[in-house]
Amino acid sequence: MRKAIVFVVAAVAACSGGARMRGGAGRPTATLPEVKLRPPVAEVRVVKDTYHGTVVEDPYQWLEGDGADVQAWGEGQDRYARAVLDQLPESDALRAEITAVVKAAVVQYGDLRAAGGKLFALRRSPELEHPELVAMTDPEHPEAAQRVLDPAARGAGVAIDWYVPSPDASRVAVSLSEHGSEVGTLHVIDLDGKDVEPAIPNVQRPTGGGDVAWTPDGKGLYYTRYRSDRSGPPPAAPPDPRGAEHGEPEGERDAWMQVWFHALGTPVASDRYEMGKDLPKIAEITLASDARGRVLASVQNGDGGTFRHYLRDIRGTWHQLDDWDDGIVFAGFGPTSDLWLVSKKDAPKRKVLRLPSTTANIDDAKLVIPEGGEPIVTDFAKKRGIDFASDQLWITYQTGGPTEMRVFSLAGAQVKGPALPPVTSVGRPTAWGDGALVQAVGYTLQPAWYRFSSATGALTEVAPLSPKLPVDLSGFEVLREQATSKDGTRVPYTVIWPKGARRDGSVPCVATGYGGFGISVAPKFMAVESVLLRRGICWVHANLRGGSELGDDWHRAGMLLDKQHVFDDFAAVLGSLAEKKLTSPDRLAITGASNGGLLMGATVTQHPELVRAVVSDVGIYDMLRVERTPNGQYNIPEYGTVADPAQFAALYAYSPYHHVTAGTAYPATLLTTALHDGRVAPWQSRKMTAALQAARRGDTPVLLRVATSAGHGANTGATEVIDRTTHVFAFLRWQLR
């Protein structure tokens, strides 16, 4: 057991206007803009917590509160950060160019869903803060689409979390939330956007999410609801290892999901409970239904990647199909009465099974597609695993970052599928006509919708659905590279590189990664990033362990007691960039969000010498107290818990907040958070900011930017996207030039 880390706190160095930023030894200097404000100094109020006999001192635990002193400190930090960021060189020019991309006169379509002969989509237009819901009958003529719902009509900051059309396309179930909170209320609307049923609150929450499944006749729907009244005896919460005086973890209202049924035209008070009372507190549920009237509830145990599946038969009886350790990562309905499964049991790259409708015994499932050389992509929240079009299986495979679509017969024989561009990310297909609509996007390739005919094998771009942004990345190439991690593991990464640039270490680069929860870093079009790319900055995407780029073994190798592998992988990528003379430490910045923010914090505290600057968005830094937050409870299966001695030791060994050391030459740092973030508590960024400001050597900037009208990232309005991106890019240019 490691000894407690004692924070050695120094006063925050005053930043005089126009002063030269000294930084650490060997770091280039940058001139601080002249501002009259000063960041408030966080008072040291040491609290001692004991975990399994180890005493941990926490000087800034008071910043976890919501009192007037915390609010004043946070507002003061934000005012100072914005005063600095607004005056940085090129700020006005960057804002204009970013706005030109975000507000380009281009209408974009996403999240396509087919129902009742109509094609629904979320449409983003330049004049809108958030996408609106539309319905069309012909994807070749989206200009004729009917607007179903503009969330702005429901109030400022209102956005669509998700939507599910009824089978006959006459109604749509929509979850709406405000200011990026992801706290959603269910509305059942007609195609004119009018509510036809009473609104049902508490169906959607951060992390756990929410969902709906319609009955075949469209006269009722099954929906998720959080058990705010705690009806029924819930499972006991895990004890706090520090003693009862610390109380119960926060966020009871964000847990205890259940499934209920609402019949259209009846009061919500008469809705029928269906299932969920016996599930764990951190269960997450998605729903699906079929034309036979059956309902499938897929349940994830927190965010750790283990699942159960429950089937409601046509008689109304629920059957548990599998358990957490059975390895079924996806279950869905298909064109037959059988259930279709993706399993990782004895197949870390996954295989496809078929469960006959005559049995509810998972052991009776038959192998259809064996494990292959590349892993099958599944996504619990997006209900992605196996899709069907023209009675064929459409399956996405991960190829180390990029993805590709493959098509199979119901018997498992591979047939001709869409030959989409290489090194792209392929979206979930939408069955349409005699085939499907599918979207592909690359780092330098703009998003494009394609129509594939299963009958003829023809693949054609649907140009009206694929308008192009005023962004030209033809001057860049995509390099696929590898680094060698500390334990010898080869780690892939991608570099978006200016063609013809010299590999002499002089090119400034921004590197990013995630490494957690089985989430893979796939190609995306570098639209907004083009503003920096055009200024000679390369961009790097690392495919770290903790994701699923190379299968489930890749995920497991970066979770729980092996989380340190993720940080070692990223450090290896940063070192590889220097070794290959793609850049150098003094020309390198890193950025990441959420779990990627944890990656930023670990990199800064373990290897401050590797980078010049860091931007960390809505990050996690205190790994000992994170599980006391609503989202932290869901993260326990991925990160571990301080209640377990071995897991506590692993968490404490890398927890960034607990490894901030006085007198260290830390990189220039911009931390960002948002007041409506329901996934990562804003106090995480407050505490890390206070620790870095007190411990840094010299006057290298440590800034905290706080968004007051946003959440964790979902449903962020266009105005805030422009403001935040301007600040981040101005900060990066300031440090890297």
CATH number, domain of 73, equals 3.40.50.1820
Pick the range with the lowest mean pLDDT from 9-13, 163-167, 256-260. Answer: 9-13
Task: Give the pairing of strands 476-484 and 490-498.
Answer: antiparallel
Amino acid identity, position 87: Q
Check: CB of residue 548 under 8 Å from CB of residue 400.
no
194 Cα distance to chain centroid: 31
- Interatomic CA distance for residues 462 and 29, integer angstroms: 50
Check: CB of residue 322 under 8 Å from CB of residue 308.
yes
Residue 726 DSSP class: H
Burial 683-702 (b: 16+ CB within 10 A, else e): bbbbbbbbbbbbbbbbbbbb
- Give the Å distances, CA to CA, from 350 to 327, 417, 541, 653: 9, 20, 25, 33
41 located within any domain: yes
Check: CB of residue 149 under 8 Å from CB of residue 189.
yes
pLDDT for 304 equals 86
- Interatomic CA distance for residues 641 and 649, integer angstroms: 10
Residue 249 DSSP class: P
- Interatomic CA distance for residues 592 and 598, integer angstroms: 8
470 Cα distance to chain centroid: 27
- Interatomic CA distance for residues 700 and 200, integer angstroms: 50
Degrees, nearest 5: CA angle 390-392-395:
125
pLDDT for 15 equals 35
Q: Which helix (DSSP H) or strand (DSSP E) does residue 455 occupy?
A: none
- Interatomic CA distance for residues 33 and 122, integer angstroms: 41
Please count the other Cβ atoms lying within 10 Å of the Cβ belonging to residue 72.
Answer: 11
Residue 692 DSSP class: H
- Interatomic CA distance for residues 415 and 161, integer angstroms: 36
Task: Give the pairing of strands 509-512 and 538-542.
Answer: parallel
36 located within any domain: yes
- Tokens coding 154: 């429901």
398 located within any domain: yes
579 located within any domain: no
Tell me the per-residue pLDDT of 337-375, one tens digit each, with 9 for 90 and over.
999 999 999 999 999 999 999 888 899 999 999 999 999
421 located within any domain: yes
| Domain C-terminal end among 408, 439, 468 | 468
Tell me the per-residue pLDDT of 497-534, one tens digit each, with 9 for 90 and over.
999 999 999 999 999 999 999 999 999 999 999 999 99
Check: CB of residue 469 under 8 Å from CB of residue 527.
yes
- Give the Å distances, CA to CA, from 102 to 190, 350, 529: 30, 38, 11
pLDDT for 359 equals 87
Matching residue, tokens 């959603």: 184
Pick the range with the lowest mean pLDDT from 2-6, 461-465, 500-504, 593-597. Answer: 2-6
Q: How many secondary structure helices (H) and strands (E) does the chain include?
A: 10, 39
Q: Where are the beta strands (DSSP E) in 514-652?
A: 538-542, 588-593, 613-617
- Interatomic CA distance for residues 531 and 93, integer angstroms: 10
Q: Where are the beta strands (DSSP E) in 500-569?
A: 509-512, 538-542
pLDDT for 251 equals 60
| Domain C-terminal end among 417, 433, 468 | 468
Q: Which of 109, 222, 224, 119 is nearest to 165 (CA)?
A: 119
Beta bridge partners of 599: none
Q: Residue 71 belongs to what domain range? A: 1-104+628-634+652-710+721-737
Share of the chain above pLDDT 90, in %: 89
Check: CB of residue 677 under 8 Å from CB of residue 618.
yes
In this prediction, residue 60 has a pLDDT band, given cuts at 50, 70 and 90, of very high
pLDDT for 241 equals 34
Matching residue, tokens 């009259």: 36
In this prediction, residue 716 has a pLDDT band, given cuts at 50, 70 and 90, of very high
Q: Where are the beta strands (DSSP E) in 504-586?
A: 509-512, 538-542
Q: Which of 569, 536, 533, 537 is nearest to 550 (CA)?
A: 569
166 located within any domain: no
Q: Which of 215, 286, 283, 282 is nearest to 251 (CA)?
A: 282
Pick the range with the lowest mean pLDDT from 244-248, 418-422, 536-540, 643-647. Answer: 244-248
Tell me the per-residue pLDDT of 691-709, one tens digit each, with 9 for 90 and over.
999 999 988 999 999 999 9
261 located within any domain: no
pLDDT for 34 equals 77
Tell me the per-residue pLDDT of 592-631, one tens digit each, with 9 for 90 and over.
999 999 999 999 999 999 999 999 999 999 999 999 998 9
pLDDT for 503 equals 96
Average pLDDT of the residues in 81-101: 96
Task: Give the pairing of strands 318-320 and 307-312.
Answer: antiparallel
- Count: domains in the chain: 2
Residue 153 DSSP class: G
* Four-point Cα dihedral 403, 409, 414, 416, nearest 10: -80
Q: Which helix (DSSP H) or strand (DSSP E) does residue 113 occupy?
A: strand 108-115
- Interatomic CA distance for residues 532 and 521, integer angstroms: 20
12 located within any domain: yes
Q: Is the dihedral of CA 644, 650, 653, 658 positive or negative?
A: negative
- Name which residue leads in pLDDT, 234 or 509: 509
Check: CB of residue 527 under 8 Å from CB of residue 99.
no
209 Rama class: left (phi>0) / alpha (psi -120 to 50) / beta: left
pTM of the model: 0.93
Check: CB of residue 17 under 8 Å from CB of residue 35.
yes
Check: CB of residue 542 under 8 Å from CB of residue 570.
yes
- Interatomic CA distance for residues 717 and 124, integer angstroms: 11
Check: CB of residue 557 under 8 Å from CB of residue 545.
yes
pLDDT for 393 equals 97
Whether the predicted pLDDT of 183 surpasses 50: yes
- Tokens coding 340: 């279709």
pLDDT for 508 equals 98
Whether the predicted pLDDT of 452 surpasses 70: yes
* Average pLDDT taken over every residue of the chain: 92
pLDDT for 36 equals 79
Whether the predicted pLDDT of 493 surpasses 80: yes
In this prediction, residue 227 has a pLDDT band, given cuts at 50, 70 and 90, of confident
| Domain C-terminal end among 430, 451, 468 | 468
pLDDT for 349 equals 97
Average pLDDT of the residues in 438-462: 96
Beta bridge partners of 395: 406
- Interatomic CA distance for residues 436 and 422, integer angstroms: 19
Check: CB of residue 193 under 8 Å from CB of residue 160.
no
Residue 57 DSSP class: E
Average pLDDT of the residues in 428-442: 96
